[in-house]
Chains A and B, each alone.
Chain A
Amino acid sequence: MKIFKAFIIIFFLLFFNNLYANENSQRNEITKNLRCLICQGQSVYDSDSDFANSMKILVDKKLDQGLSEKEIYIYFKEKYGDWILYDPGLNKNTYLLWLLPILIFVFGGAIIFKRSIFKNN
């Protein structure tokens, strides 16, 4: 039994140690977070529409100009509005969106904590 377990563990270690991934380009990461404005719920990365293709070229251009990921998001946000960004940043429109789930979590935790008995009697 122990040999079997050891074998499994060694197998896992060897197996994963040999895996390498191709680096995903920064462009893919960025375009995944941009909405294709003319599509139904697709990101620029996912879409092959003309709009998405020109956006991809634009992102490449901006990267070549040396803009960082954040600066590119700001650029698109100023041009097209919040709608284009899939990641709704924390601002006055989205405080509730981000905080409400956390509040619910804290609240639920409080209830369970209150109902738990910790003493060993």
Chain B
Amino acid sequence: MIYSVVGHYSLILGLCVALILIFFSIQNFKNSNQLDTKILSFSFLQLFFVLISFLALIISFVISDFSNETVFNNSHTTKPLFYKISGTWGNHEGSLLLWLLVLTLFIFIFLLRTKNQPIKYKILTLGFQQVIIISFFLFLIQTSNPFNYLFPVPDEGLGLNPILQDPALAIHPPILYLGYVGSSIIFSSALAATTLKMVSTSWATHIKKWVLISWIFLTLGILLGSIWAYYELGWGGFWFWDPVENVSLMPWLALTTLLHCILVLERKEILTSWVIVLSIATFTLSMCGTFLVRSGILNSVHTFANDPERGLFILIFLFALIFLSLFIFFFFHQNSKNNSSNFFWLSKETSILVNNWFMMYFLSVVLIGTVYPIFLDVISSQKISVGPPFYHKLIAPFLIPFLFAMAIGPRLKWIRSDLKDKIYLIFLLIISVLISFFIVKNFNTNILINTILISSALYLFFITLRDFVNKKYKNFAQNTAHFGFSLLILSILLNNLFSSEIITNLKVGETYDNSKTKIFFESINQEKEKNYKSIIANFNITNSEGINNNLSPELRIYNQPNITTSEADIKTTLLKDKFIVINLVQNQDYFNVRYQVKPFMLWIWLSVIMISIGGLVSFLQKRI
């Protein structure tokens, strides 16, 4: 009760500080010899208020204060403490509060850490950021106040959706938000830099750090979501081209494009308009994602909370953002005087442009694939589904030249270059094609496309691998990231080819046996946990090589809310995952058993981690 009051007023105070900050910014902007210390203090104060409000919500969750509507809707006394806390951001209101917290935290760090940049630029960035912050304050207080009061106070809460009660999903939202919100800083500072006509090489170096931060967090955030989907949603896939996944992928694609493009701007004052457009696009896409997820117009496996009123608010905010940025872009932006924006075809600049070209294509595929069905439904009320086959058909063929460009591009020099070691490159190409053919020939799939796809990924793999050994090579960060990417694509392709599965119905004591695998359903245990009952099935699985594995998938019957989830049991080894999951067959004592062998799963996760390590190295290293 008291915590809700504190939290609520703390939010209002934070909003007031935002207004004060805007006032001081304007004053300081007119007279900008030095940064007004008041701005820094008030910025800290704002962070402080939002933090208090956030802590108040966490405490309300911890003590199960059901006079708070958010707590009532999303918590339960029998829930473990860890999920009480993670439940704070496992719902719409709390996640927005977290979003706001990160917004204020980032702008404070930005003010504190930005040196060697003009005062006016810092103030203007703060101003734009405050506009976003104020919108979020209003959104939170108006449509999704986390501190709504309930009377009479209920005895018990409704509980958190059980599939959200999971360690990976507990930290997934904060990490993802750090990425999303980081892009807001890029947005504000790009607008500020445009207004002040200071989009330059030094600005590029400065903003690159922020691009990297958001990029690292976004990458890891997507990874966590994917891992969670893999073991929790219970069918052994890790990416479903689901709209909600797509909306997190879109800002990532834009951010990756921006990251590469900034490398050019860092050296020469060209492509300025493009960098600005990308900076604006990244944040706009993040907001678009929020709109699509929160408004509930998507049919998705991840849609948990939605409300049309909220959707409308975000939509208006989104249009205001786009309008504001377009206005600033066309009104203030000056193309660089330097008109020699043509590049020699064999140069690093051109290869980065090729990267941008393909990334934009991938982005457009994902964007169009996600929103087209919505528009078609509105215009002609025809419902169509756009699923994995669409994305695979449009993305896979284009991945081939993309991977080759990724292998060759970084070896080129700026401005003008010649390809060295031609013989070696061709030799590696032949090796890659040979290996791929050996892999693919055992399958009756489409041999040609698979061979070429795997060859191109292998080619990138070998070239980056060699560059690690080759000490002359300097750009360790880039090489790590590209190596990680080749590993990712390879793992996905091989995983796709080699995965096998058995689906069958079994009773306790029965054995499934085909020539390669024997599945013995040994026994069944029942256990009672604090907030769920669990049925644990024990299987003994023998494969053709005589290797024995005991796997125990689980069914959890949660009491609040009353939902059954199935927990897969996964045995992870370096080369393959063994994945088993059970489901009840209605009104029978049979269980539906799904057993999958999925090679290289671990490498999919590791390669994404490697990609982000590449980003981290680049973030930590000083510019040479």
Do A and B interact with each other, yes or no? yes
A17-B438, A104-B364, A115-B341 known; A35 and B385 CB under 8 Å? yes
Tell yes or no: A87 within 8 A of B by CB. Answer: yes
A41-B242, A115-B343 known; A32 and B388 CB under 8 Å? yes
A41-B242, A101-B394 known; A16 and B380 CB under 8 Å? no
Query: Chain B interface secondary structure, helix, strand, loop or mixed?
Result: mixed
Expressed in whole angstroms, the minimum distance between the Cβ of A32 and any Cβ of chain B is 7
Q: Which B residues touch A102, using CB under 8 A? A: 394
Q: Which B residues touch A98, using CB under 8 A? A: 394
A21-B497, A46-B237, A97-B369 known; A41 and B243 CB under 8 Å? yes
Complex CA distance for A35 and B303, rounded to whole angstroms: 17
Expressed in whole angstroms, the minimum distance between the Cβ of B415 and any Cβ of chain A is 11
Expressed in whole angstroms, the minimum distance between the Cβ of A81 and any Cβ of chain B is 7
Q: Which B residues touch A45, using CB under 8 A? A: 235
B438 contacts A35, C-beta separation under 8 Å:
no
A118 contacts B498, C-beta separation under 8 Å:
no
Q: Which A residues touch B438, using CB under 8 A? A: 13, 16-17
The range of chain A's interface size is 35 or more
Complex partner residue of B385 from A20, A88, A101, CB under 8 angstroms: A88
B435 contacts A82, C-beta separation under 8 Å:
no
The range of chain B's interface size is 35 or more
Tell yes or no: A83 within 8 A of B by CB. Answer: yes
Tell yes or no: A40 within 8 A of B by CB. Answer: yes
B498 contacts A115, C-beta separation under 8 Å:
no
Complex partner residue of A101 from B343, B361, B500, B592, CB under 8 angstroms: B361
A82 contacts B583, C-beta separation under 8 Å:
no
A85 contacts B442, C-beta separation under 8 Å:
no
Complex partner residue of A112 from B301, B350, B380, B387, CB under 8 angstroms: B350
Binds A, one of B111-119, B134-142, B352-360: B352-360
Expressed in whole angstroms, the minimum distance between the Cβ of A11 and any Cβ of chain B is 10
B342 contacts A101, C-beta separation under 8 Å:
no
Interface centre among A21, A32, A83, A85 (most CB of B within 10 A): A21
Q: Which A residues touch B384, using CB under 8 A? A: 82-83, 85, 88, 93-94
Q: Which residues of B contact A (CB under 8 A)?
A: 233, 235, 237, 240, 242-243, 299-303, 341-345, 350, 353-354, 357, 360-361, 364-365, 368-369, 372, 376, 380, 382-390, 394, 398, 431, 434-435, 438-439, 442-444, 497-501, 516, 583, 586, 592, 599
